[in-house]
Structure 1
Amino acid sequence: MDYIFRQATLADHAAIWEIISQAILRRKADGSKQWQDGYPNPTVIQSDITRGIGYVLVIGEEIVGYTAILINDEPAYDELEGTWLTTGDFVVFHRVAIAEQQLGKGLAKLLLHHIEEFALQQGIYSVKADTNFDNPGMLKTFEKQGYVYCGEVTFRGAKRKAYEKVLR
């Protein structure tokens, strides 16, 4: 199948929010505390899009994945309890979600690959991310894709596991 990875537009908002909503329900069903506090919400997604940091994975005309990508923009990472692998420029991604009907097809791996390609296109060789301790799917994805556990960061009062991958 041919996939397209592109910047999200406001016309994509409803489809993105549906995917995020599905992911919120999956986290809850798994007993996770991640995304159970009203974040993310439609306003966050709209802000991602208008700021130009929202990206979608598309098959044909269907949006099947979403993430937000930023460059050098995660203040919580300055307070890492641990040690990053690098200290220079980095790409950070948040809000990774795959459509319910597309789970198990390797799309999270594909999304991470596109994020890494985005970083390389910017001349950046570090990708950083974090997730809840109780999100085994994302933890497994990080480990399978060569991300290295670097320590803990705190978001909205909760500790999260932080990872980095050095490209090339």
Structure 2
Amino acid sequence: MNYTFRKATIQDIPQIWQILQDAIARRKDDGSNQWQDGYPNPETIENDITIEAGYILEIDSQIAGYAAILINDEPEYDNLKGKWLTTGDFVVFHRLAVAKEFLGKGMASELFLQIEKFAKDHNINSIKADTNFDNLAMLHLFENLGYHFCGEVYFRGSARKAYEKVL
């Protein structure tokens, strides 16, 4: 497959929003509370793109996945109930989702690899992320891809499991 990993543009918002809407529905079908409170939404995606944090994984010019990627930009991580592995610069990703047409084809793992490449390209050796306690697919990815559980963080009143990978 021919992968392209690039910054998202305003023109990509309808496709990204569809991917996220499908992911929101999957989370609900799985019995999860994650993403069931009006977040994320199209304004979130537009903001990601405006601050140049929105990225897409394309396969043969079709958007297969989306993630927001930031550097040192998650204030809640300062309030971790636990202990991070490192204290220096870090890459954080949010809103990672795969298009339903690409589910089960390794695209989430590919997004993780692209995020690792992004970190290395910016000379950063730490990736931090979090997910809901009941997001079994993401928890499985964290464990399989060498992330370490570091504790809990809180978003919109809910605890999330926080992970870090040192590259």
Query: TM-score scaled by structure 2?
Result: 0.99
Report how far residue 61 of structure 1 moved: 1.6
Query: Are 1:71 and 2:71 matched, yes or no?
Result: yes
Which AA in structure 1 matches 2:41?
N
- Moved runs in structure 1, 4+ residues, more than 4 A? none
Aligned to 2:103: 103
Identity of aligned residues (%): 63
Aligned to 2:41: 41
Superimposed CA distance per residue, residues 8-39 of structure 1 (whole angstroms, 9 cap, x where no aligned partner): 00110100000000000000000000000000
Q: Tell me, in whole angstroms, the C-alpha distance in 1 between the residues paired with 2:57 and 2:158.
A: 29
Report how far residue 69 of structure 1 moved: 0.3
Report how far residue 2 of structure 1 moved: 1.0
Q: List gaps (5 residues or longer) in structure 1.
A: none
Query: Are 1:24 and 2:19 matched, yes or no?
Result: no
Which AA in structure 2 matches 1:114?
Q
Superimposed CA distance per residue, residues 114-146 of structure 1 (whole angstroms, 9 cap, x where no aligned partner): 001000000000000000000000000010000
Query: Are 1:13 and 2:13 matched, yes or no?
Result: yes
Which AA in structure 2 matches 1:109?
S
Q: Tell me, in whole angstroms, the C-alpha distance in 2 between the residues paired with 1:7 and 1:121.
A: 15
Aligned to 1:81: 81
Q: Give SS of 1:31's match.
A: coil
Aligned to 2:120: 120
Q: Give SS of 1:131's match.
A: strand
Taking the TM superposition and a 5 Å limit, the aligned residue runs for 1:130-145 are 130-145=130-145
Aligned to 2:148: 148
Taking the TM superposition and a 5 Å limit, the aligned residue runs for 1:149-168 are 149-167=149-167
Equivalent pairs counted in the alignment come to 167
Superimposed CA distance per residue, residues 69-122 of structure 1 (whole angstroms, 9 cap, x where no aligned partner): 000000000000000000000000000000011100111000000001000000
Q: Tell me, in whole angstroms, the C-alpha distance in 2 between the residues paired with 1:74 and 1:47.
A: 15
Q: Tell me, in whole angstroms, the C-alpha distance in 1 between the residues paired with 2:121 and 2:166.
A: 14
Q: List gaps (5 residues or longer) in structure 2.
A: none
Q: RMSD between aligned alpha carbons?
A: 0.4
Aligned to 2:56: 56
Report how far residue 162 of structure 1 moved: 0.1
